[in-house]
Structures are given as structure tokens and as C-alpha cells.
Amino acid sequence: MGSASTSHTLGSAAFFIQFLKVGHIFQPWVDECPLSYASNNAPKKVNVPGSFLLSILAGHTRYAHITRLMGDTVNSKLMGMTKVVSYDSARRALMKIDVEEGTCT
């Protein structure tokens, strides 16, 4: 599966992203995400959960597939992101989240 299947899968993502924004669903989810960064080199907080969401919308089942989305500038901008993070950044972000904080109750 190359980039054609990814772009085809994300073809209707803009409508879903609009739903998330109008329904005030995405930003509160980002705000509640238990990630915090202190380094100037760290990714923006919105880029991490946004990258996971785009990856899921593209049908990916592993965070390592996020790399396939790194060229997507349209959907990421619609979500208020500056870029799709690398899978290394995504993996490190998951490792930083405390189990208790990252569990929905």
C-alpha cells in the first residue's frame, strides 16, 4: 500500500475534521491529553494526538505507519497542526504518558 491508498483513505477526512472542529471535540481532547513538553525542539502538543488521529483515519493499525502521512499538509493544517510527527516522536510521546493519566475512566 503506497501513498495512493493513504490519500484515497483520507479523501473524506476533511469532512470529519470539520465535524470535530464544529462539535468542539478535537481541541478539548488535545487539551486533556496528558503530554507536556519543555524543550523548544519538542513537537507541538497538537501535532502528536493529531498525528495519531490522522493515522487511525487512514486505517493504520500501528503508530509506525504514521510515517506514511508525513507529506500530508492539507488535513494536518485543517486540524491546526504544523506537521505530522515522526513515528519516533509518537512512540516517545506514548512512553511519556503515565498509565493512570492516560486511562479514560
User: What was the pLDDT predicted at 38?
Assistant: 84
Q: Do residues 77 and 85 make contact, with C-beta atoms less than 8 angstroms apart? A: no
Please return the burial class of 23, using the count of CB atoms within 10 Å of its CB with bins 0-12, 13-18 and 19+: exposed
Question: Hey, where are the domains in the chain?
Answer: 3-33+40-96
Query: What local confidence, expressed as pLDDT, does residue 7 receive?
Result: 47
Q: What is the pLDDT of residues 64-104, one digit of tens each?
A: 788 888 888 889 999 999 999 998 988 999 898 888 887 77
Rounded distance between C-alpha atoms, residue 67 and residue 17, angstroms: 20
Mean pLDDT for the stretch of residues 37-63: 88
HSE (CB half, 13 Å, CA atoms) of 22? 6
Contact in structure between 67 and 87 (CB atoms under 8 Å): yes
How far are the Cα atoms of 13, 18, 24, 54 from residue 89, in angstroms, in the given order?
A: 23, 26, 26, 15
Percent share of the chain, pLDDT over 70? 88
pTM: 0.81
Query: In sequence order, what E strands does the chain have?
Result: none
